[in-house]
Amino acid sequence: MNVEYVDAIGYGAAILTTLAFLPQAFKVLRTRQTRDISLLWAIAMTAGVFLWLCYGYASGSMPMIVANAVTLALLLAILGCKLYCK
Amino acid sequence: MNVEYVDAIGYGAAILTTLAFLPQAFKVLRTRQTRDISLLWAIAMTAGVFLWLCYGYASGSMPMIVANAVTLALLLAILGCKLYCK
């Protein structure tokens, strides 16, 4: 497959899986309800996305750094509410 | 940084952000409750992970194919319950 097509698929994937966390974080911050969200999911995703951020930094990939920094901030909001919102 | 260290960080990240969806999917399938999960999150993640799977296939990366195929199956269970569980 053409390299530009492959890159475009990768950028589309990165944009979707990053922006996806915007409505989820807004929902959690608005409702303060996280009962249906798994704590293990929130912890593992936060740790995993932090490692993706380190991987992006170590590889010198600015798109990975930006995408994972945004996702990490949104995940921290979700995890914080899961732990502290009552 | 040593290339093996960087690779190890990437593998750790991939394992965490894939396995994270196991407890979330099990929680959804057990409780049938998805009120606190954003529909937009579920749709964007499913579409995004499908594109990551295509990207892995086009790049010939077996770890990306395996990780994203597992995540996609778990996300489809979550999205299906979000749409059809009452």
Asked if B27 and B77 count as a contact pair (C-beta separation under 8 A), the reply is: no
Angle between helices A39-59 and B21-31 (to 10 degrees): 160
Q: What is the pLDDT of residues A34-71, one digit of tens each?
A: 999 999 999 999 999 999 999 999 999 998 999 999 99
Q: In this model, does residue B1 exceed pLDDT 80?
A: no
Q: How confident is the model at residue A8 (pLDDT cuts 50, 70, 90)?
A: very high
Which residue in B has a C-alpha nearest to residue A13's C-alpha?
Answer: B48
At B83 the pLDDT is 96
Q: What is the pLDDT of residues B41-71, one digit of tens each?
A: 999 999 999 999 999 999 999 989 999 999 9
CA separation (Å) from A46 to A41, A53, A55, B86? 8, 11, 14, 29
User: What domains can you pick out in chain B, each with its CATH number?
Assistant: 3-84 (1.20.1280.290)
Cα A21 to Cα A72: distance, rounded to the nearest angstrom: 9
Window 1-60 of B, Cβ < 8 Å to A: 1, 5-6, 9-10, 12-17, 19-21, 23-24, 26-28, 31, 33-38, 40-41, 44-45, 47-49, 51-52, 54-55, 58-59
Looking at residue B50, its amino acid is: F
Q: Is the pTM of this model over 0.90?
A: yes
Closest in B6, B14, B38 to A59, CB measured: B6
Residue with tokens 């966390």, as numbered in its chain: A21
At A14 the pLDDT is 95
Q: Residue B32's CB: how many other CB atoms inside 10 A? A: 12
